[in-house]
A and B are shown apart, each in its own frame.
Chain A
């Protein structure tokens, strides 16, 4: 079964869809770059956006690649490759694949009990469960983004920007809080014996970020900004290996 799931046909189907999505990304990239230039935006800023986003994405992408490897043992390589390249999310795929395996009568997700019918069913369920973001975008994105940018007083617009920052602070705080919670109470309430690595990694990454921000702002090494998150992450992750 595994050899069928890793056949050239499977690679062609999945690779074809990924190629389509890559072309879509290039179209959006070129369009917005041209629009930015036409609007009179500094091309240096546009280029720095591209460089910083590219360096930013490499390490998380390697993390996602590990998700592909993890799922490839039971679902073959091409399908997880597609799922994690297109609308997949690392935490989502494994969970849904496991639940789908249960529905087709497998005790757990593995290649041993995998039949063609089971695979097709699991694959379809994985696609259907996550398609809602796209459907909502198709129907509501236009109205919603119009509502957000237009028809408001300038004062309200001022809060919109602050609201985004606040929402993101909330997001980051939820994650940092979860690391603290799992260390303090992960093995029982207030036992302080849970996993401390994520906290150390986060602190090291934050300290490196602080140092790099200082260099970028005070020593005018502006080029550093494009790489500071990636470098902070890398050193934070190295700290996990050392401890």
Chain B
């Protein structure tokens, strides 16, 4: 198999479908506006963008830089088209990588990651489509007060399970970011609404510590 050709095509297909999705997504409000009989107020969009959009633009750049290496080329295109990165695509790809035992930067990892994100996206689309189709009978069940605590805690359940998977092999690496983040959130509780931003210092600390440990062990090997 020609890997270079496969990778080249991944980028060609990825770019084309991303561009099409972009046009569809930005075009849809105008099509809908035409149907409803009123076009979007571009002045208000511009003002709104300055109010909230700029923050999201900065965080998009950070997300792109941080998560693309985790997702790989094909996985990256797909994940940025289908969204829900932190609460779904990233953990899903990391779990698949763990099970398959592939290493970052290899073609095998690229394949596993793309398979994983494509599957995850398809399942999400299917669940949402079914859910929308069955909205009337499902809504009272899903929103019932009995089940509400369960669905409020999907993300803690996800990160609890993933924490075991990753901490057990790297407990020394995990301790510092976990303690630092706990201390920060205890002392500045307002930060909890900014958790997705706090990933950056936490990740940077873990990477820094991992790098020091890695350098040390390499120095030992060479000695």
Contacts and interface: CB of A to CB of B under 8 A. Distances in A.
B143 A66 contact: yes
B209 to A, nearest CB: 7
Provide the main secondary structure of the chain A interface: helix
A101 B44 CA distance: 10
Interface in A113-167: 115-117, 119-121, 123-125, 127-138, 140-142, 144-145, 148-149, 155, 157-167
B25 interface: yes
Nearest to B89: A57
Interface string B124-162: 110111011001000100110011011111111111111
Contacts of A111: none
B115 A50 contact: yes
Interface string A210-243: 1001000000000001101100111011101101
Interface in B150-195: 150-168, 170, 173-174, 177-178, 180-189, 191-192, 195
B60 A198 contact: no
B80 A87 contact: yes
B223 interface: no
Given A77-B132, A145-B73, A168 B44 contact: no
A177 B206 contact: no
B177 A141 contact: no
Interface string B81-124: 11111111011101110011001111110111011111111111
Given A168-B166, A225-B99, A103 B47 contact: yes
A95 interface: yes
Interface residues of B, number: 157
Contacts of A82: 28
Contact size range, A: 35 or more
Nearest to B107: A39
Given A4-B36, A141-B68, A46 B115 contact: yes
Given A132-B56, A177-B185, A229-B162, A63 B83 contact: no
Interface in A5-42: 9-10, 13-14, 17-18, 20-22, 24-29, 31-33, 35-36, 38-39, 41
Contacts of A241: 146-147, 149-150
A128 B49 contact: yes
A129 B56 contact: yes
Interface in B9-23: 9-11, 13-15, 17-22
Contacts of A27: 13, 17
B1 A99 contact: no
A34 to B, nearest CB: 9
A53 B120 contact: yes
A35 B1 contact: yes
A142 B16 CA distance: 13
Interface string B38-54: 11110011011101110
Given A131-B25, A132-B60, 14 more contacts: A25-B121, A49-B99, A50-B115, A69-B131, A69-B135, A103-B48, A128-B53, A130-B60, A137-B15, A137-B68, A145-B68, A176-B181, A207-B164, A210-B168
